[in-house]
Amino acid sequence: MVFLASSGFNLLKVNPGLVVWTLVTFLLVVYILKKFAWDKILHALEARSEKIHADLDKAESSRKEAEALIKGYQDKLHAATEEVHKMIEEAKRDATNLRNKMLADAQADVKNLKDQASKDIDLAKTKALSEIQNQIVELSVLVAGEILEKQLKPEDHAAFIDKEIAKLGKLNTK
């Protein structure tokens, strides 16, 4: 401040000539800018504004597309999860059905084996009884022949056998 005050230059003093020339220079610069640069500056600002709006619109549409894709993937994932659950349930149901069928087949096989064994036992029993009856008849005929000391005729022999078999049949049923 000392320097300025000592040089005789005062900043608070208004110089009308300087004000006029400053104003004229300012208006001239504004006019030149308006004439040559203002339209270009406005055009550049408008272009920049339009580009920013276009970029914002593009970003918004990209965001919406991304959200739609995410939603689609989530739907597909949900559908796939449900399909997997259905497949698991179906596999469980098939396994249960197969197990039940195998158990039923095994039980049927056991029953058939029991029935066959029972039939075989009954057949063997019948065959054994028949052989025993035949041996008894033969022994009875031999004993009777020796007791009577005579030979039976074939007709007598057949009648005797039938009679003895009938007696044995009655004994077995008791």
pLDDT at 75 over 50: yes
Confidence of residue 2 (pLDDT cuts 50, 70, 90): very low
- Beta-carbon contacts of 144 under 8 Å, excluding residues fewer than 6 positions away, are 152, 160
- Determine the pLDDT at residue 28: 95
Per-residue pLDDT of 24-62, as tens digits, reads 999 999 999 888 888 888 899 999 999 999 999 999 999
Compute the distance between CA of residue 28 and CA of residue 18 in angstroms, rounded to an integer.
Answer: 15
Q: What element of type H or E holds 89?
A: helix 39-148
Phi, psi at 150, each rounded to 5°: -150, 160
**How does DSSP assign 119-173, residue by residue?**
HHHHHHHHHHHHHHHHHHHHHHHHHHHHHHTSPPPHHHHHHHHHHHHHHHHHHHH
pLDDT of residue 149: 53
Please report the pLDDT score of residue 46 as a whole number.
95
Number of structural domains, the chain? 1
pLDDT digits (tens, 9 = 90+) for 110-162: 999 999 999 999 999 888 888 888 888 777 777 776 666 555 566 777 777 77
Domain that residue 18 falls in: 2-173
CA-CA distance, 16 to 25, in Å (whole number)? 14
Helix (H, G, I), strand (E, B) or coil at 10: coil
